[in-house]
Chains A and B, each alone.
Chain A
Amino acid sequence: MPAPPPNREIIRNGFWAENPIFRHTLGICSTLAVTNVVANTLVMDAGLIFTMALSSLTVSLLRGVTPTRIRMMVQMLVIASYVIIVDIMIRAHLPDISEALGPYVGLIITNCIVMGRCEAFARSNPPLPSFVDGLATALGFSSVLLVIALVRETLGFGSVLGFRVMPAGFTPWTIMIMAPGAFFVLGLLVWAVRARFPQVFAAPGKR
């Protein structure tokens, strides 16, 4: 088994070159829905980071014993368990946000990125690098969601984290709170990043 790359490189990769959103545009499914309010996004981000880091770590720890045939089921079990824990914790300690997040916390389970990293990295690498990989990818992912949320809440509600930031006469752009707003903001963001750094995120080709 080839030696894993140094941790620093893993972090940089997870954040930038392999950033799931800019590179693959994966994993946005369930998470985009909560990005209309920054507070909800931060909680969702925390859940994602917790789940990804620990799932990668656990899958890596188990990689020696897990039969190849059932590895996907095992990954799913691991991820689902951590997600349920996150769900319970949010419901216990942040009940209002839990209601706003609705089913989207549970949907972290089907988030392609979480399973994707387990499959691509964690199952063939030692625990510490896997943990770092999960953590870095989740952080990269979360930062993008945060940027989107900042735009959407500012323009859609005129506030950030509940504090008014737009001048009093500002008419909120309701479209930002609704679904199309998320697609537009993300689309423009992806366009901007890919246009500015074409060599990093090579043209999609035949994806």
Chain B
Amino acid sequence: MKERIFSVVYMFFLTLVFTSVVSLVKHVNAEKIRLNEEVKLQAVVLDALGIKVRSGPLRNEAVTALFGERVRRSEGEGRAIYTGYDETGEEIVGYAFPAAGPGFWGPIQAMVGVDAGVTEVVGVSFPRHSETPGLGARMTEPQFRDQFRGLPLRKSGGDAVYFRLVAPGSADRPGELDAITGATMTSKAIERFLNRELDSFVAAAPRSRTGRE
């Protein structure tokens, strides 16, 4: 009986010690982790807006600096909107907004950049997803993402969507882009939520069409 009590007390005490150490480490690093998340978001926004960041050491600082100079964050329709300005800070070069939707294996987070007149897509990136590596995860590759550059935000001929993802190599009509090889479900998921998000953004931003706030 005495041994049992000792076991329980020992275990309890040990757990206390270790969880305290772990919590301490977490606390010490919490700020850095938060900072990382922030810089990542900024980098993703800049990428979607087509604003190039100088790579190499001190990239994080460059990202934050550039973001501070050229991007303004605002809220609209319950979502964050990042307005990108040119070097002078006067003219709007485009807007970036976060889009999210269910993927096949988990939620996919995207950042979409459109031009100032909201007439075409400037870029799209997928900072977060849980799709299968080698299949759905290839959405992050330039080969797939670059297809969206210059995609007109126009629905051609009675279509209800801005773009469709079709079997790679068979895209022939405007608005048809190559899906990801072997990743039918992920491609369908992306098609669905990205079109929906583009719809809602375009509909809610009539003032942006003139390129002025």
Task: Please say whether the chains A and B touch (CB closer than 8 A).
Answer: yes
- List the interface of chain A (C-beta within 8 A of B): 36, 62, 65-67, 69-70, 73-74, 77-78, 81, 84-85, 88-89, 91-93, 95, 99, 174, 177-178
Do the beta carbons of B18 and A88 come within 8 Å of each other? Answer: no
Is B3 interfacial (CB 8 A cutoff)?
Answer: yes
With contact pairs A65-B10, A74-B11, A89-B29 given, residues A177 and B22 touching in the complex (Cβ less than 8 Å): no
> Which B-chain residue is minimally distant from A175 (CB atoms)?
B134
Cα distance A118–B171 when bound, in Å?
58
Determine if B147 is an interface residue (Cβ-Cβ < 8 Å): no
In the assembled complex, the CB of B130 is this many whole angstroms from the nearest CB of chain A, namely 8
Q: Is A92's CB under 8 angstroms from B18's CB? A: no
Nearest to B15 among chain A residues (CB) is A77
Q: How many Å from the CB of B144 to the closest CB on chain A?
A: 15
Q: How large is the interface on B (under 10, 10 to 19, 20 to 34, 35 or more residues)?
A: 20 to 34
Binding site for A on B (CB under 8 A): 3, 6-7, 10-11, 14-15, 18-19, 21-22, 25-26, 29, 32-33, 36-37, 40, 128, 133-134
Among B15, B25, B37, B128, chain A packs the most CB atoms within 10 A around the CB of B25
What are 15 sample pairs from A and B whose C-beta atoms fall under 8 A apart?
Answer: A62-B14, A65-B10, A66-B10, A67-B6, A67-B10, A70-B11, A74-B11, A81-B18, A81-B19, A85-B22, A88-B22, A88-B26, A88-B33, A89-B29, A174-B134
A78 CA to B11 CA, complexed, in Å: 11
Known contacts A70-B11, A88-B29, A92-B29; decide if A81 and B133 are in contact (CB<8 Å): no
Is the pair B29, A67 in contact by a Cβ cutoff of 8 Å? no
A170 to B63, CA, bound (A): 34
CA distance A36 to B134 in the complex (A): 11
| B3 contact from A67, A74, A78, Cβ within 8 A | A67
By the criterion CB–CB under 8 Å, are A67 and B18 in contact? no
Q: 20 other contacts beyond A88-B33, A95-B36, with CB at 8 A cut-off?
A: A65-B10, A67-B10, A69-B7, A70-B7, A70-B10, A70-B11, A74-B11, A77-B15, A77-B18, A81-B18, A81-B21, A81-B22, A84-B22, A91-B29, A92-B29, A92-B32, A92-B33, A92-B36, A95-B37, A95-B40
- Tally of contacts, chain A with chain B, CB under 8 A: 55
Contacts A65-B10, A67-B7, A77-B14; is A93 near B32 (CB within 8 Å)? yes
Q: How far is the CA of A93 from the CA of B60 in the complex (A)?
A: 12
CB distance from A146 to the nearest CB of B (A): 20
What's the nearest-Cβ distance from chain A to residue B19, in Å? 7
Decide if B40 touches A74 in the complex (CB within 8 Å).
Answer: no
Contacts of A62 in B (CB 8 A): 14
- Given known contacts A67-B3, A81-B19, A85-B22, is B14 in contact with A74 (CB within 8 Å)? yes
Task: List the 8 closest pairs (A to B, CB-CB), nearest first.
Answer: A92-B29, A81-B18, A92-B32, A95-B36, A178-B134, A67-B7, A92-B33, A85-B25
Set of chain A residues within 8 Å of B3, measured between Cβ atoms:
67, 69
CA of A83 to CA of B100, assembled, Å:
31
Neighbouring B residues of A178 by C-beta, 8 Å: 133-134
C-alpha gap A126/B6 in the complex (Å)? 23
Question: Which of chain B's residues has its CB closest to A99's CB?
Answer: B128
- Report A33 CB to chain B, min CB distance, Å: 9
